[in-house]
A and B are shown apart, each in its own frame.
Chain A
């Protein structure tokens, strides 16, 4: 298994543009998490899906952020419109069941908004 797959690995965009980050969890895992990593705030949980249903999106910073999981093997995190303060590394992680199982992280997407 290739583990959690994220694309793109790097994204550079201009303020105001729409950005879509993609994640493919490990096959058979039913829980998926999106995180944001910055030097100032560390690692923040943005949203958690269980069986493709958003369970906790309290970490989503504002309405400009949205996440979907149309099926068990794919999720997207969209930022529209993007702002420079959104620049960060975005990680996706999956577990076989819920929060407390071992989280398997993807390689991350480094987003730079100019």
Chain B
């Protein structure tokens, strides 16, 4: 069965420092990967997906199939980036398959 591992439950950095939230997955095929974010007092929302290959709020994530990783990175963290981040893996088709979330990482950016 596929699994998503976010090894850090808590991550603290200072404003302006680079940040990397780790996500490793276990699946041998071609997965779809996502990052979801939940800011304080807001709803959980999609941050980015690997197929879009886009940068959202300065964050990027590259799928590394060799290392089965999808780490989320930002070169200069901002205080407003403080939030809970979930990595998610989807295996299957449009109306069937399995969606699995990691345990989440709470990012705190200190001033």
Contact-size category for B:
20 to 34
Q: Which residues of chain A come closer than 8 Å to B30, judged between CB atoms?
A: none
A-B CB contacts (within 8 Å), total count: 55
The reply on A85 being an interface residue by CB < 8 A is no
Distance in angstroms between the alpha carbons of A104 and B95 in the assembled complex:
17
Are A99 and B94 in contact (CB-based, < 8 A)?
A: yes
Select one of A42, A50, A105 contacting B103, CB under 8 A: A42
Select one of A41, A100, A104, A107 contacting B32, CB under 8 A: A100
Q: Chain A contact residues: over half helix, strand or loop, or mixed?
A: strand
Q: Chain B contact residues: over half helix, strand or loop, or mixed?
A: strand
**Quick one: closest A residue to B100, CB to CB?**
A45
Select one of B32, B93, B101 contacting A44, CB under 8 A: B101
Given contact pairs A3-B43, A99-B90, a sample of 13 additional A-B residue pairs in the complex whose CB atoms are under 8 Å apart: A42-B102, A42-B103, A43-B102, A43-B104, A44-B101, A45-B99, A55-B96, A97-B95, A98-B94, A100-B32, A103-B36, A103-B44, A103-B46
Q: Which residues of A contact B (CB under 8 A)?
A: 3, 31, 33, 35, 41-45, 48, 50, 55-56, 91, 93, 97-100, 102-108
Q: Which residues of B contact A (CB under 8 A)?
A: 6, 32, 36, 43-46, 86, 90, 92-104
